[in-house]
Amino acid sequence: MSYTLKVNGKMQTVDVEADTPLLWVLRDTIGLVGTKFGCGMGLCGACTVHLDGVAVRGCQTPVSSVGAKAVTTIEGVGATEIGAKVQKAWIDHDVIQCGYCQAGQIMSATAFLSKTPHPTDAQIEQAMNGNICRCATYTRIKSAIRQAAGLTPALAEAPAPQQVLADASTGHKA
């Protein structure tokens, strides 16, 4: 069956079965591979995308249920003000380790901050509870969300490393 979807602001027509998960439409049919497959049961959050700004699990959302809702993926979320702040904070706090879950983490954080612009730590923890990070960067994720919400100042850029030179004749550092 043919479906026309608005993905990251662009209309996309796909010919897939009605029960095809949105995740596979995005990855295999449209070619947007930033959204990841994790567990396939909607438990880990790696496949999180937005439908009209609401975070949903792409692996559990049949394409037939999308209708006229706008789909936003990790490839498009940075075009939003909040998405750009979240992505910058992720970089500032060096959140990403292996990176596999991070698209879903960023998508969940962005949807959360859109509804709760000045969250408490408890609200952050509750909102992000359904996103699993195998590298356990949860403390960094929380710090990045706090920065994106303006609750803490942005981290200053790290200073350039200074090269330590030894004076060959004395062995003392210059």
Per-residue pLDDT of the chain (174 residues; tens, 9 = 90+): 999 999 999 999 999 999 999 999 999 999 999 999 999 999 999 999 999 999 999 999 999 999 999 999 999 999 999 999 999 999 999 999 888 999 999 999 999 999 999 999 999 999 999 999 999 999 999 999 999 999 998 875 544 445 444 445 555 554
User: Nearest to residue 28, comparing CAs of 41, 45, 16, 11?
Assistant: 16
Gyration radius of the chain's alpha carbons: 20
pTM for the complete prediction? 0.87
Residues in contact with 157: Cβ distance below 8 Å, sequence separation at least 6, in sequence order: none
Nearest to 109 by CA among 67, 95, 97: 95
Beta carbons of 83 and 53 less than 8 angstroms apart:
no
- The answer to whether 23 and 65 have CB atoms below 8 angstroms apart is no
Instruction: Tell me the two tokens of residue 161.
Output: 């490393």
